[in-house]
Amino acid sequence: MDNKRSKLHELGFQVGILERGEKNSIADVPDVTVGHSTIIAGEGELKPGFGPIRTGVTIVKPHSGNIYRDKVRASSYVFNGYGKTTGLVQVEELGNIESYIGLTNTLNIPKVAESLLRFHLDENPDIGIKTSTINILVGECHDGYLNDIQGRHVQKIHVFEAIENASSDFEEGSVGAGTGMSTLGFKGGIGSSSRVIKDEEIEFVLGTLVLTNFGRKNDLTILGHNFAKYIDEGDKEDDQKEDDGSIIIVVATNAPLNTRQLKRLAKRAPLGLAKTGSYGSHGSGDVIIVFSTENKVEHDNKERTLSMTYVNENTKIFRDLLRAVVETTEEAIINSLLKATTVIGRDDNKKEAISIEKVKEILSK
């Protein structure tokens, strides 16, 4: 990992008007952590099942406790449904998340789900015996351009490693689930951003993490600057073949919100996605998952009635939460490009990291 590659705010540029969090990442939301396991092995010609391997897994932990016992209120929104996620049906029905959130490549969905299931069963041995079963949540993007995707190389050891590595200080770019991903013609991967939402009396944080794997160079737009005219003619011709792709957007906040309000936040993420050049292609899986760390749902609570406090929608706080989703989604996608490093994968396919110098030059005009 090239630690010299910068996020957008470190280059002196601002997305939107809201204040960024200290880390400018989803981990600015208290107790939210992210862990990766990156798998890189082999070179040259593709031999299905053997490599080369350019893949991994990323785990988002909504809090540091037992997520099955203390679920987080959640919702989701599918902007375009060409995707293979697991667990969204129950999230929509019950309005909560009860497992860690796994991100990986398309064909590794079952293996990551099985590994997360093993972890949570070990932590909660009564699942399915003395209490209900568990809903495992995993999202994916297709990294087969750079990676031997048929090899399904993510194993339980990698998932457990990502869980163990989860931290508020996590890498972005070509790491974890983002190792083999391509975005807007360049190397993509993991990106994150955050915003502080406050008034005279109260303060909340909203953070977003993305796994990016979509779009063409001709569509790439950063802060309103379309990059098509800065791309070599030969690249533009090849770029027409690169259209479809996917993105998983995970939004977290410590603002107390009910599931209907979380759904409203989720629906704003595509606005930030569009600002970077996406139009929701036919073959794009654009999935948004949103949760609040407040008002946790206690698994063992048997009280007949429950009460909760949530943000009044007729306030600037709620309006700024909506704005924050748009701003953080846009910036997280840009950060996934800026933090990514060049990767050469199967059959010597290559995705170049975007030039930090070129971005600075264009945005300064």
DSSP per-residue string spanning 316-344: HHHHHHHHHHHHHHHHHHHHHHHH---EE
Domain presence at residue 36:
yes
- Kindly report the CATH number assigned to the domain that includes residue 261: 3.60.70.12
Q: What is the tens place of the pLDDT at every residue in 338-356?
A: 999 999 999 999 999 999 9
- Domain total for the chain? 1
What six digits make up the tokens of 338?
Answer: 């800026």
Give me the mean pLDDT over the 293-303 stretch.
Answer: 96
Active site residues: 246, 284, 286
Distance of CA 267 to the CA centre of its chain: 15
What is d(CA 282, CA 173) in angstroms, rounded to the nearest whole number? 25
Structural domain includes residue 10: no
Query: Is 78 domain-assigned?
Result: yes
Domain containing 326: what range?
A: 15-348
What does the alpha-carbon distance between residue 271 and residue 274 come to, in Å, rounded to a whole number? 5
DSSP state of 233: H
Task: List pLDDT tens digits, range 239-295.
Answer: 545 567 899 999 999 999 999 999 999 999 999 999 999 999 999 999 999 999 999
The tokens for 30 are 């208290």
Average pLDDT over residues 200-222: 96
What average pLDDT is seen over the chain?
A: 94
Mean pLDDT of 146-163: 98
Q: Which of 57, 25, 313 is nearest to 177 (CA)?
A: 57
* Strand 246-253, strand 285-298: pairing: parallel
19 belongs to a structural domain = yes
Assess if residue 360 is contained within a domain. no
Q: Is the pLDDT of residue 229 over 80?
A: no
- Is 357 inside any structural domain? no
Asked if residue 356 belongs to a domain, the reply is no
Question: Is 361 contained in some domain?
Answer: no
